[in-house]
Structure 1
């Protein structure tokens, strides 16, 4: 979606941004996940997005396996639906830092009505560490020649 690849980056965040790193992309996904939108005209009207921009984003989502084109519109795949957690995380950050009057929407659990929050937990000890306590280490997909801090 960004029009270029991150060849110098060996990073899943950079790869994800290639798919959904343009502002309209996450808004389209948000409306598909949480408002159940599937039709081109609904996205266009609700978001106020230009039809050519919307068509390009939806085509990219289909090509990336985030959505499937169907006769009645666009359906999220599991891969696309899982971006809902990204929307929740980004919204929580926005509620904290960019919503002076409080959260404009709340994500709630359909079964019980409780408010849903995302947390980061350690699978070793179960703690919820502060971001300052989290370090990035090379994983199994790391390219040793392209680790952060190394000149390429």
Structure 2
């Protein structure tokens, strides 16, 4: 089994644990998707970020836990690491979630898509810019400009 397949299975296993279910198909209802779609994720070795983001926001579940198994599902503080820095964020009012949501909105408005890695890089860049300025939000015009460049 390759590393990506293992990671996708781990994500699905954590979601099953949170929901208290044993089968992948039982995740369809809480994730608001069809059972067939979950099977296709396993075939493609990819779970759409938008589904995980929506689920985590709706249920107050830490994305760090869903994606990496870090901390507890309902953790209120998360450690975010990137090359050269580790910093703490409050996930109850998580600015990263807001920035990611803005990036997603901009992509929808532009009718564009970014791969997972490029999406993550874009969110990290905008979040870092926000923190460097000491702001608690990124102006949407800036998000739109950066997303246009990333696409």
TM-score (norm 2): 0.28
Between Structure 1 and Structure 2, which shows a larger proportion of helix residues? 2
Which has the higher Rg, Structure 1 or Structure 2? 1
TM-score (norm 1): 0.28
Which of the pair has the greater relative contact order for Cα pairs under 8 Å at 6+ separation? 1
